[in-house]
């Protein structure tokens, strides 16, 4: 909660009144919208995962819309970005930044954006942004690399974790100041021709499966282009040791076979998940981010979706015995 608190302290000093969202409202978009209207909230801080259900519940058509929405903590998909860019009922600030850099390192106002795809804007004052390769060398404009930052807001490191501090906080090769440090975010990004930054997901979300390098974010983005999908996440699971496989979790009102065909039309076969799990909503952590650890295994989902029927005929009993032995 440190990230959101930093902004709220500044607003309290500026004379604003702080309203903390009750936990029960976080999972009820209609109740949340009524609460925002009741308290005439003029600045609302949330994650994309929290904002999307509010948009689906008609937030932009309500009598009261918060004049300013501060959004961060995760990436916004292209559909929601375009919807927000087209409205003049609110200003949505898309902020990016890790806690290690005292939260916000770059940002942009979505309203009026001429670009149809999400981006994170320009670095804030007193902070330097770099896109580097694996050897901490600058990459050309438009080339993906690791987002790294140096400057006033970079913190000193992790308390009691010198190993992790040494891995993430490295000497700044672009500074002449003695002891200057560079923070490696582990995020993938690139510079756009207009001098703004584009966030492209986590570097560790690129996985290798059966010899193929797979970008999980590309699978998720392709799934979200399907008309029946409102949200999606892909990951590699190894529920059985030695048996790693690609699994997609989708919030959809359609069938998974059409999703499989949709992916095959746009992606190579090795990027098509072997299992699809449909969910009413993606699980979130208490601070509104995707909770990957709470995603169920495909087998567990199947077990809860059907009731057990014992073998009835002699043939079924014999087959069940054979499977038990195997």
Q: What is the pLDDT of residues 256-302, one digit of tens each?
A: 889 999 999 999 999 999 999 999 989 988 777 888 889 998 875 55
Look at residue 1 and give its three-state secondary structure. coil
Q: Which tens digit of pLDDT belongs to each residue from 85-139?
A: 999 999 999 999 888 998 889 999 999 787 888 999 999 999 999 999 999 999 9
Distance (Å, rounded) from C-alpha 222 to C-alpha 218? 6
Look at residue 48 and give its three-state secondary structure. helix
Question: Is the Cβ–Cβ distance between 251 and 229 less than 8 Å?
Answer: yes
Q: How would residue 304 be classed by pLDDT, with cut points 50, 70 and 90?
A: very low
Q: Which tens digit of pLDDT belongs to each residue from 311-323?
A: 889 999 999 889 8
Distance (Å, rounded) from C-alpha 83 to C-alpha 87? 7
- CA proximity to 289, closest of 6, 51, 93: 51
Mean pLDDT of 47-65: 91
Q: Which tens digit of pLDDT belongs to each residue from 230-252?
A: 899 999 988 877 778 899 999 99
Spell out the domains of the chain, with CATH numbers in brackets: 2-202 (3.40.50.12780), 210-305 (3.30.300.30)
Name residues whose C-beta falls within 8 Å of residue 272's C-beta, 6 or more positions apart in sequence: 246, 260, 263, 264
């Amino acid at each position: 909660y440190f990230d959101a608190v930093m902004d709220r302290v500044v607003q309290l000093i500026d004379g604003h009144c702080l309203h903390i969202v009750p936990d029960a409202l976080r999972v009820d978009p209609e109740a949340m919208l009524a609460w925002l209207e009741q308290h005439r909230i003029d600045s609302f801080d949330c994650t994309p995962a929290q904002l999307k259900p509010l948009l689906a519940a008609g937030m932009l058509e309500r009598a009261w819309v918060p004049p300013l929405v501060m959004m961060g903590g995760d990436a916004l998909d292209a559909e929601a970005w375009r919807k927000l860019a087209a409205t003049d009922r609110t200003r949505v600030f898309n902020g990016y930044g890790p806690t290690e850099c005292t939260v916000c390192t770059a940002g942009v106002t979505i309203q009026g954006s001429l670009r149809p795809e999400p981006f994170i804007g320009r670095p804030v004052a007193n902070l330097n942004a770099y896109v580097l390769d694996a050897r901490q060398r600058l990459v050309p404009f438009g080339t993906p690399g690791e987002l790294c930052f140096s400057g006033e807001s970079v913190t000193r490191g992790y308390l009691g974790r010198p190993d992790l501090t040494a891995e993430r906080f490295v000497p700044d090769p672009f500074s002449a100041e003695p002891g200057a440090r560079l923070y490696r975010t582990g995020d993938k990004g690139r510079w756009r021709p207009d001098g703004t930054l584009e966030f492209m997901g986590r570097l560790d979300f690129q996985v290798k499966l059966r010899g193929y390098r797979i970008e999980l974010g590309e699978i998720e983005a392709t799934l979200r282009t399907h008309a029946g999908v409102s949200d999606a996440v892909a990951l590699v699971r190894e529920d059985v040791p030695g048996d790693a496989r690609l699994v997609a979790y989708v919030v959809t009102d359609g069938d998974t076979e059409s999703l499989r065909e949709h992916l095959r039309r746009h992606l190579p076969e090795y990027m098509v998940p072997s299992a699809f799990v449909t969910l009413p909503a993606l699980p979130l952590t208490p601070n509104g981010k995707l909770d990957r650890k709470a995603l169920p295994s495909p087998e567990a989902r199947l077990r809860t979706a059907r009731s057990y029927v014992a073998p009835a005929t002699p043939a079924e009993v014999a087959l069940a015995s054979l499977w038990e032995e195997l």
